[in-house]
Structure 1
Amino acid sequence: MMKIVSWNVNGLRACVNKGFYDYFKAVDADVFCVQETKLQEGQIALEIGEEYEQYWNYAEKKGYSGTAMFTRIKPLSVRYGIEEDFEPEGRIITLEFDSFYLITVYTPNSKRDLSRLPYRLEWEERFRNYLRQLDSIKPVVVCGDLNVAHQEIDLKNPKSNVGNSGFTPEERDKMTTLLGSGFIDTFRYLYPERENMYSWWSYMPKIRERNVGWRIDYFLISSRLGTSLQEAEIDCHIMGSDHCPVSVTLEIPGNFGVIKPYEH
């Protein structure tokens, strides 16, 4: 079995002071992925143990975006970005293992005024083509903040949010197209009718207490990994960010990599 966790921490340095280490230790993931690290190289010394390899993709802009992956399983290769091994906003990291690829991603937000929607849609096309290219080689697992509530069941107030950033017809259509390209939304695959399960809440007063949220953090897997999917969870009770962690447990066939030995 392999457990993978994803969490948009909305500033890792702040999250570390709000229980990050407690959750990291308790969840005991084989791979732990984070988005919106909002830091530069050398700004944090993460105390997660020597058994984890650490991979960071920093945004050029300070205090913005950024992703990281911490893995007990030594990857065959690491890639940053899509077309090239570089991505100025630090949004993507790809780890290659023996029998699958694992990608963490922080999808661009189209902004409240939708001024970045055209860029977002173009980016979505490049990202989908990238996933399809990888999927033609070996199965793919994608996790992260995809910045879209796909269906009405995925947010508390769908009718009043139609056309808003993260729930525009264009963004939802891109998710439909991605899933139609041979990928599974793991949580909906296991729980197609489960309501009131969200991964992001506004910081406005009482919003989280009333569970007025959106499910915008996902694990997607290649369709042929469907039989390997054991569990998909949303840890709604975990605080420390405006997002909560999400996870999957997979039974990967064959050898999925080399587990690093614990070093004491």
Structure 2
Amino acid sequence: MRLISWNIDSLNAALTSDSNRAVLSRDVIDTIIEMDADAIALQETKLPANGPSKKHIKHLAEYFKGYSYVWRSSQQPARKSYAGTMFLYKDKYSPKVFYPDIQVPDTMDLEGRIITLDFGEFYL
């Protein structure tokens, strides 16, 4: 199984902006797709609290054909559109998804930093 992890520093910008940085991020996305990963972990997605918008969903479907995804976004009182994580995994898998809190200080559990996928033989 091939796993890739990337601190994208704004999936939001990568999918919706035409800045130089967003274009570079899309080049990295293209490279990741070429690597045919079974699961892709993204950190610092910076998506809204309610998750991907219709525009994000459209772009995710275009870039990641054959993948399902789950996300966790920052929730108030943590900062808005801060941190956040996403897993994309090939449609042939159906992991159990957990959103654990680890009882850390302040608002860290609300920043959307942890998702756990249970693939049966291992946790990611």
- Normalising by structure 2, report the TM-score: 0.69
Matched, 1:42 2:52: yes
Q: For residues 13-162 of structure 1, what are the structure 2 equivalents within 5 Å?
A: 13-16=12-15, 17=22, 18=24, 19-40=27-48, 41-43=51-53, 44-45=56-57, 46=60, 47-60=62-75, 61-72=79-90, 73-83=92-102, 87-102=109-124
- 2-structure distance, mates of 1:21, 1:76: 23
Match for residue 6 of structure 2?
7
- Percent same amino acid among aligned pairs? 36
Letter in 2 for 1:88: L
- The RMSD of aligned alpha carbons is 2.0
Unaligned runs of 5+ in 1: 103-264
Going from structure 1 to structure 2, the CA distance change for 1:76 and 1:39 (only over 3 Å counts) comes to closer
- 1-structure distance, mates of 2:114, 2:12: 20
| CA deviation map 1:3-60 (0-9, x unaligned) | 1000001111333432243123222111000000011123322133442110101111
Helix, strand or coil: the match of 1:74?
coil
Unaligned runs of 5+ in 2: 16-21, 104-108
Higher share of residues assigned strand: 1
Helix, strand or coil: the match of 2:66?
coil
Give the aligned length: 99
Going from structure 1 to structure 2, the CA distance change for 1:76 and 1:10 (only over 3 Å counts) comes to closer
- 2-structure distance, mates of 1:64, 1:58: 8
| CA deviation map 1:179-201 (0-9, x unaligned) | xxxxxxxxxxxxxxxxxxxxxxx
Helix, strand or coil: the match of 1:24?
helix
- 2-structure distance, mates of 1:63, 1:94: 21
> In 2, are the aligned partners of 1:38 and 1:63 still within 8 Å (CA)?
yes
Letter in 2 for 1:34: L
Compute the displacement of 1:75 (Å). Answer: 3.3
> In 2, are the aligned partners of 1:38 and 1:65 still within 8 Å (CA)?
yes
The structure number with the bigger radius of gyration is 1
- 1-structure distance, mates of 2:29, 2:83: 21
- Normalising by structure 1, report the TM-score: 0.34
> In 1, are the aligned partners of 2:8 and 2:43 still within 8 Å (CA)?
yes
